[in-house]
Amino acid sequence: MPQISRRTKAFLAITTVVAATASIAGCSAGGPETVRFHLSKPEAIPYFRELIAEYNASQDDVEVVLDTSSNLQAGFLRGNPPDIGMLNYNMEMARFMERGALSDLSDMPEADRILPGVQELVDQYATYPGRTSVLPYSVMAASVIYNTQIFEDNGLEVPETWDELIEVCETLEANGITPFYATFKDPWTIGQGWFDYTVGGSVPVSDFFDELNAEGTAVGPDSSVSFQRDILPPVERMVELTDNYVNDDAESRGYGDGNLAFAQGKAAMYLQGPWAFGEIAKTSPDLELGTFPLPMTDDPADNKVRVNLDLAAWIPEASRHKEAAREFLSYLFQPEVMDEYNAAQLGYGTTTDAAPVTDPRIVGMKEYFDDARFYQGPSKAIPQTIPSDNYFQAIVGGSDAERTLAVIDADWARLALRQ
């Protein structure tokens, strides 16, 4: 007898659920109720397109339509947002929540399954009184990607302190191996990797931005917290690494170059997220890779991994098809459906019943995720109107770190004044 896939099991389960609730609000004799599902992640489109087809085929009351191109800002302003969204959750998306534009999902069983530490990631950006408006679907954990064969050939252990990291870099250089492959041509790779890993490894990110928001227009050299004072020490260590232990052509190399070079064994370590694994595998499918948090202090207890809410679900208050959207959300949050997505995308599950990660490329971060020893990337907590990645690019290119961070303080204060 052939085995039934997890997705087929999920399909059979939702068929039963929908059959038991055949009369979803809004259904009419004129045809199925249309639910518009907005998705922001291009790599996930094939997976969710197949799920939508299965869901639509399982019942006649609702037709879910995939929307990957609508302008969310315009939709909310016109009072015609999508009925349900599944997006990367960041500060920009949080603006809709803090204004009450997203409906309350706290009464749904799915809300009770979310890991407390993961739900707190949502609250770090914004909240709305009395509501749980966003349910995390998938978390991407990121840290140093390393070539396990190079480490083994050179007798190296994964470093757990800053001093051990420097020793690893010195040993690699002495043996003619580039410690880190860097791609400074693309500013986002500096913000997401070098800046986030060094700052997150030594500064309590959430507390820092809470205090920064409280300071508002007063942010500067004399405020309780500031970039030029609190972020300077880890940035100086970032500069120590980028000045001494990266490829000589880093300033002219971009993300694609980095994936290819690392796949070819041209460096031992690479500061990228799990999205890079698929690109690396195109060149070297059998390359053995692992991950570990970048140690920035002399205390291993300070080590954490960078995370972001890869996908999070929400239903707008203005949706005219809330009940139908909630039914579809319940389908998406079935364990079988979520586990298959996370396994395929190298993500971490967000629920108490999620399957544990097993892929050797990301299993090195499992203990940190399980213990909630993680932080959201500080670069993502900076409003997009501040060109922070370009500032970080200037720093690794030789600009004075303290003066550049002072510029970010000034930008932050000016933006707070306008708001």
Domain 6-133+308-364 and domain 141-304+373-418, same fold? Reply is yes
Residue 343's closest CA among 15, 17, 47, 108?
Answer: 47
Q: Is the pLDDT of residue 413 over 60?
A: yes
pLDDT single digits (tens) 135-177: 999 999 999 999 999 999 999 999 999 999 999 999 999 999 9
pLDDT single digits (tens) 21-57: 433 444 445 689 999 999 988 889 999 999 999 999 9
Q: Is the pLDDT of residue 5 over 60?
A: no
pLDDT single digits (tens) 179-191: 999 999 999 999 9
The predicted pLDDT at position 357 comes to 95
Q: How far is CA 161 from CA 31, 41, 143, 340, in A?
A: 62, 35, 14, 35
Q: How far is CA 55 from CA 51, 66, 226, 330, in A?
A: 6, 12, 49, 11
Q: Is the pLDDT of residue 17 over 50?
A: no
The alpha-carbon radius of gyration of the chain (Å, integer) is: 23
Q: Position 390: which residue type? A: N
CATH for 6-133+308-364?
3.40.190.10
The pLDDT confidence band at residue 91, using thresholds 50, 70 and 90, is: low
How far apart CA 182 and CA 197 sit, in angstroms, is 14
Q: Given CA atoms 141, 146, 152, 157 in this order, what sign does their dihedral have? A: negative
The predicted pLDDT at position 122 comes to 87
Task: List, in sequence order, the alpha helices (H) in 6-156.
Answer: 6-20, 45-58, 72-77, 91-98, 109-113, 116-123, 148-153
How far apart CA 64 and CA 67 sit, in angstroms, is 9
pLDDT single digits (tens) 268-302: 999 999 999 999 999 999 999 999 999 999 999 99
The predicted pLDDT at position 216 comes to 94
How far apart CA 24 and CA 141 sit, in angstroms, is 37
How far apart CA 277 and CA 138 sit, in angstroms, is 17
Residue 148, sorted as left (phi over 0), alpha (psi -120 to 50) or beta, turns out to be alpha
DSSP classification of residue 355: P
Q: Where are the domains of the chain?
A: 6-133+308-364, 141-304+373-418
List residues bridging with 348 in a β-sheet: 139
pTM attached to this predicted model = 0.87
The predicted pLDDT at position 40 comes to 86
Contact between residue 25 and residue 324 where contact means Cβ atoms under 8 Å apart: yes
CATH fold of 141-304+373-418 reads: D-Maltodextrin-Binding Protein; domain 2 (3.40.190)
Q: Position 317: which residue type? A: E
What six digits make up the tokens of 158? 């994964």
